[in-house]
Structure 1
Amino acid sequence: MNGFLDRAKKLLDEHDEKVDQALDKVREKIDESAKNQYSEPLGKAVQFAKDHTGEGDTTRR
């Protein structure tokens, strides 16, 4: 199991920009289907995920 997690982390690090784009698309779809009912907490969750994925993260401040 540990090897799988290491490979997953490596992929996230290598493709950080694509991961961030995917997170944005998922957020849009959920927001749309929930009729913007959970926009704020969903936005915070997506930002948290973006901040914690990828070694050279494109969204870190």
Structure 2
Amino acid sequence: MGIFDKLKGNKTAREKAKHASDTAEKKVNERTGGKYEQQVDTGQQQAERRLGMDRDRPDQP
């Protein structure tokens, strides 16, 4: 069982990953002065989508 399987099957792990993703986005925006805010947000959304953590969808099983 890989790390991605763990993320998809464990709600607690998904919540931790979302928190880490939000924290990373915030830090990048702070360090760049918000200059690349839109690009960072797009990258975060794409990464979360690929990991099966779409925020627009209700909780997955």
| Kept in 2: contact 1:27–1:42 (CA 8 A) | yes
Gaps of 5+ in 2: none
- Aligned residue number for residue 4 of structure 2: 9
* Structure-to-structure mapping, 1:1-61, within 5 angstroms: 6-13=1-8, 14=10, 15-54=13-52, 57=53, 59-61=55-57
CA-based RMSD:
1.7
Identity in percent: 22
**SS of the residue aligned with 1:37?**
coil
Tell me the TM-score normalized by structure 1.
Answer: 0.71
Q: Deviations over 1:19-58 (max 9, x none)?
A: 111101000001001110110010011011122224xx36
Tell me the CA shift for residue 12 of structure 1: 2.0
CA distance in 2, matches of 1:60, 1:38: 23
| Kept in 1: contact 2:45–2:54 (CA 8 A) | no
CA distance in 1, matches of 2:15, 2:43: 17
Tell me the TM-score normalized by structure 2.
Answer: 0.71
CA distance in 2, matches of 1:22, 1:38: 19
Could you list the runs of 4 or more consecutive aligned residues of structure 1 that deviate by over 6 angstroms after TM superposition? none
